[in-house]
Structure formats: structure tokens, C-alpha cells
Chains A and B, each alone.
Chain A
Amino acid sequence: MKGRVICAVIAALLPGIGSLGAVPSAEARVSLEKCTLCHGKPEFRKILVDGKIRDLFVTADTLKGSVHEKKTCVDCHFDISEIPHRERPRRIACTHCHYKGNAEGAPQSDAYLAYFDSVHGKAIAKGNSKAPLCQDCHGNHNILKAKNPEAAVARTKVAETCGRCHIEIYAQYKTSIHGVALGKGIVEAPSCTGCHGEHKIYGHEDPKSTVYATHVADQCSKCHASVSVMGKFGIETEQVATYKESFHGVASQFGSRTVANCASCHGTHDIRPAEDPLSSVNPKNVPKTCGKCHPGANPNFAVGKMHIDAKKKEAGIVYYVASFFKYLTIGTMLALIAHIFLDMYGRTRRLRGEK
């Protein structure tokens, strides 16, 4: 009696177990055919209330070439169950698959977790519908690996991607020395993500940010202190060391946010070489740039080198002042210490009873 019941249960379950492997692929094909019924028509689009046109044209080739080539519509648009859709389909949640330990074959990385803490992730959490989700930067159907130069997040393309929202900054960046260099195909030049980070982008007033006032010098020096990078373009690397020795650099290291960092003088997105008349460190503009913090800086002030190293002869008079004090200190201290030791020697002699 008991055995029969178990057999019956197993018999009832068998078809279900068999269908687990076979059904999804069949269903996927079905779903694609069903979707392209409407979405396959080139004129299939929606006019939004603000007059914008949302193109809804999708074919079987849309995902071709992207990293999701083998996926089908409902793998991501899994909330769609009815045709025509009664409700507006929701935005895609990439984390449905992209988490560490997933069984879908998505990259095993939790780098995306940083996004939720970032300025963009927080804006989303606050309900800002304009803040970007994954697909706003990485693309919708045409997602490519970041290493692929065609990807929206590729090094040469990412500025354009960010610029879709940050238009003014993109315009500044594009004409800056970094933007121009990257445009010429110099891959060492930083794009947006080079300074701001990728997923962990924070507002510049957030202490976690790589462009927080006290972190700017470190961020710039990642490239500018490296002889192997700067050597290729004939740019000096001692700027970093001379800044760190100056009062600005020291106070910044101790956490002062009011002193000048690299960006205070050289600009942020609009960094240009000093020879450029539009540059904030062009001798003509130096009084104005210094005047931001030190009101009344005169044109005279711009004469001479800004980043000086007192230990080198190029520093001119400062070098000689430093040398004077160096030898004065050594000489004086040697004489004084010699006097002290002679005194102690004499005392020892007298203690021993020698005359």
C-alpha cells in the first residue's frame, strides 16, 4: 500500500523534472517570436507626454555582439507576462543576475556594490529618477566589455557617456589638456573615471571621494609623480614633491581643506598647459588665480617659478638662502656640541683628580 503511493508520487513528478532542462530554451524562442510580433516593426514607437519619442524597435539581432548575446527578452524583462502589457514594464534590475555567486554565468564580481553607496546610487535611493542606473552608463541592449573600445564605458568613450548628463563639464573636459590628449589617442590621459573612480563616484565634498580637497594631490600624483608615465610626454614629476613640501601641501596633508590643492590653481575639468592663454596658471592669469584666496596678489607675483625646490640651484636666491642656513646651522651646532663635550671632558678629568 505504502510503496504504491510513493511510486505514484514519483510517476507524477517525473514529467516535471524532465521539463526543467528542456522548457526554458523552447519558451525563450517562443517569447522572442512573440515580442517581435510588435517590437519587430520599425515604426513601433511611443510618443511620451513631453513630446520625446521612445523607440521600441527590437529585433532578434539587437543583442547580437553584446555580452548578453545568448540571453532573451524575458531574461531581463522578467516582469512581462501579458501581451499587450497591461502595466508599463519596469526598469531592468541588473542585480537580478549580477551578484557574486550567481548561477547565471554573469561575471563573479561585487564591484557593483560600490554603486549603491556612490552619489548616483544614493540619488536613486532618494527617488531621483534622473540619476543613472547600470544601464544608463553601460548601455541597454548593446552592452560590451569595458575593454572593448566600442563600449560606452571604454576609456575613450566614457567621457561622452558621462557627458550625456554632465554636458557643461564634458565641454570643459573636451578642450582641456586631458580631453585633447585622450582625443588624440593617448591612453595614459585620464578620462572622467580616471580621477572620479568607476562605481565609487562620490560628490567632491564627501570625504570618501577621490577628488575630496585633501585627496586631490594624491589623485593627481598617481600619474604626475610617475616618471614612467610623465617621461613619455616630457612633463616634470617634481611638481608633486615641491607641492608636498610647500605650506599648501603640508597643511593639506594635515587635513586643511582651505589651502590650495592642485585643482585650486590648475583647474578641475578645464586644466590647460601654462602656455595656453586660457589656462588659470598662465602668467597673465596667475594674479587672478592666486587672488581667489589671497586678495590683491599683484602681477609682479607671477614672476619666476611657482614650484620651487630650495635644494636645487634652479631655485636661484632661495637656494643660496637655504645653503647659507644649512652651513650656519651645521657650523654653529658643531661648535656648540664641541664646547659641550670639552666641558664634560674637563669635568671628568677633575672628578678623577687629574689636574
Chain B
Amino acid sequence: MRVDEKREPLQEIIEKEIEAALAEETAHLDPEKAAELREKIRRRVREEMEREIRLRTAAERREEERRRREERRREKRHEEGEMFQRFNRNFRFQHIVMFTSVILLIITGMPIKFPNFILSRFVVAMWGGIGNSTIVHRIGAGMLIYFMVHHLFYTILSRDGRRDFMLLIPMPKDVRDAARNIRYFLGRTTEKPRFGRFSYIEKFDYWAVYWGCVIMIGSGALLWGESIALKFFPKFVLDIAHEAHSDEALLATLAIVIWHFYNVHFNPDRFPGTLMWWHGQISEHEMKDHHPLEYEEIMAKRAKQEAAEVINR
């Protein structure tokens, strides 16, 4: 109803204008032809207008909704300020695929590494026996391989992917940041290291996953296609693959459960975890706190844009 009320006066004004313009244009034609043409144009214009209004109102409704949500949030937590989009939808999707697959792999793989651990029997029985458990492990493996391929393409083909990859390359600054951070923890300095888009902690996580994926997928592929591998390699190659797969699995699990969980869940700043993996947004407050250099960069870019707009106007 509201949409119609809004539309009525606007439509009337525009129709009157069109009417006038048409009358002027068709003045020199014979009346019959003119009437036909007028009717045709009127119909076409009305269709076009209705379409546009429909689109605009939908977009407006969405925009309105977003604004209201933002306001509510700001009222509740005024100190956080504006929200910045930190991870795009593609990147969040990759993270979800990865952690789903890694959880599946860990809970189906660990009982095989520790068969005598008391829970192992129950975990295997939960899937309905070792046969099903190994199938689930392979499903997880398939997801992880998909993630790896997806991420490689993302890194090469997407603009955000290329930018993030360049920013993730370890730099001498990261060593300095780490050293300063430790001095800050110990109270030797009051200044926190100023991180860019990715801190040395996040860079370590990223490259740890890279190394883990290469080792696990490489050795896992040999063990998965063992009948093919046997055709080309002596047994010790498979033994190495088995050993590496098993040991790297433990390292990765420990790193995730201890290090990553501390940084994103048990850390007092974030406990019990944020929804950043879901909406990908970071508050201004957190941005200033954890990624000051990136924040400054964004602000500088914005100021430049505004200045450019002013000039253009």
C-alpha cells in the first residue's frame, strides 16, 4: 500500500509531462496515426516506469533495513563505530569449507593415530564402524582438496585474492613486530606494534595452513590411491607418506586447538568467539586496535576520494 501511495503523485506528474511532450511532437501528424502512436508510447513508458519503481523500492527497502540494523547496533555498542568489511563472501566460504573438512578429518583421523585412546572406539562406532569412518575421512579429504584448488584460483584470478596474497608474504617488519609484541607483553614498552591488514600471527596461520595442506594432501593422495602408488614406488615411499601424514596431522591439530583457538576464541578480547567468520565484518574499534595501519590507509583513501568528488563537483 505504502508503495502505491508514494508512487501515485510521482506517476501523475510524469504522465502529464509525457502527455504534453507527445502532444507537441505529434501535432503535425494526422490525428488517427497520432493517437495510435501516442497510445503505444504511453504503454511502453508506463511499463518502463513501473519496472524502475519496483526495482528502486526493493533496493530502498533493503537499504532502509540495513540502516535500521546499523542504528540499532550503534545504539547498543556505540564505542565500536562503523563496520568495515574485512573478509569478502568468497573468502568466508573458503574458510567454512576448510574448517568443516578439517573437523571431519580430525575426528575420523585421530582414532586411527591413537587406537588405544579410550574415546577412539566410541568415535569410530559413532560413524558405524571403521569402514564408514574411512569414507567420511575421504569426504573430508575431498573437501580440503577442493578448498586448496579454490583458494589457488582465488589467489590468481580475484583482485582481493591477489592483494591479500601480496600482503601475506612475510616481511622483515613481521620479525620486528613479533619482537616488539613480546616486549610489550613483558611490559618493556608501552607501545603496541602497529599491524597492517595482516599481523605476523595471521601470516603464520596462513602459511601453516599452506604447509599443512601440501603435506597432508600430498601424503594422503598416496595413501588414498595406494594400489596405484604401489605400481610406481617402493614400500618406503608409502611408509614415509604414512609417517608424515600421521605426524603432520598431530601438529596441525595441536596448532588449531591450542594456537588458533586461543587467538580467536579463548583470548579475552574475543571470548567466546566472534561471528567474523560468518559476516566478515570488523568494527572500527577493533580495526583501530588490531589493524591500525590498514585503518589509516582506508581513511586516507576515503579522504582522497571525497576530495576528488568535491573537485569534480
Flag if A294 contacts B131 (CB, 8 Å).
no
**Residues of the A chain whose Cβ atoms lie less than 8 Å from the Cβ of B112:** 247, 250-251
Assembled-state Cα–Cα distance A339/B187 (Å): 14
Partner of B258, one of A295, A300, A340, A345: A340
Flag if B185 contacts A342 (CB, 8 Å).
yes
Flag if A254 contacts B124 (CB, 8 Å).
yes
Assembled-state Cα–Cα distance A256/B247 (Å): 23
Residue of B226, B227, B243, B268 contacting most chain A CB atoms (<10 Å): B243
Flag if A329 contacts B186 (CB, 8 Å).
no
How many chain A residues touch B (CB < 8 A): the figure is 48
Instruction: Give, as a whole number of angstroms, the nearest-CB distance from B114 to chain A.
Output: 9
- Interface majority SS (helix, strand, loop, mixed), chain B: helix
Assembled-state Cα–Cα distance A244/B227 (Å): 21
Looking at B50-58, B60-68, B95-103, B231-239, the stretch in contact with chain A turns out to be B231-239
Residue of A246, A318, A326, A333 contacting most chain B CB atoms (<10 Å): A318
Flag if B250 contacts A329 (CB, 8 Å).
yes
Flag if A333 contacts B230 (CB, 8 Å).
no
Assembled-state Cα–Cα distance A50/B254 (Å): 75
Assembled-state Cα–Cα distance A24/B250 (Å): 78
Instruction: Give, as a whole number of angstroms, the nearest-CB distance from B191 to chain A.
Output: 11
Flag if B187 contacts A349 (CB, 8 Å).
yes
Flag if A329 contacts B254 (CB, 8 Å).
yes
Query: Nearest residue in B to A299 (C-beta to C-beta)?
Result: B234
Instruction: Give, as a whole number of angstroms, the nearest-CB distance from B229 to chain A.
Output: 9
Flag if B258 contacts A318 (CB, 8 Å).
no
Q: Which residues of chain A (276-304) have a CB below 8 Å from chain B?
A: 290, 294-298, 300-304
Flag if B184 contacts A346 (CB, 8 Å).
yes
* B→A interface (CB under 8 Å): 111-112, 115, 121, 124, 129-131, 133-134, 182, 184-187, 190, 223, 226-228, 230-236, 239-240, 242-244, 247-248, 250-251, 254-255, 258-259, 262, 267-268
* A→B interface (CB under 8 Å): 244, 246-247, 250-251, 253-256, 258, 290, 294-298, 300-304, 306, 308, 310, 315-318, 321-322, 325-326, 328-329, 332-333, 336-337, 339-340, 342-343, 345-347, 349, 354-355
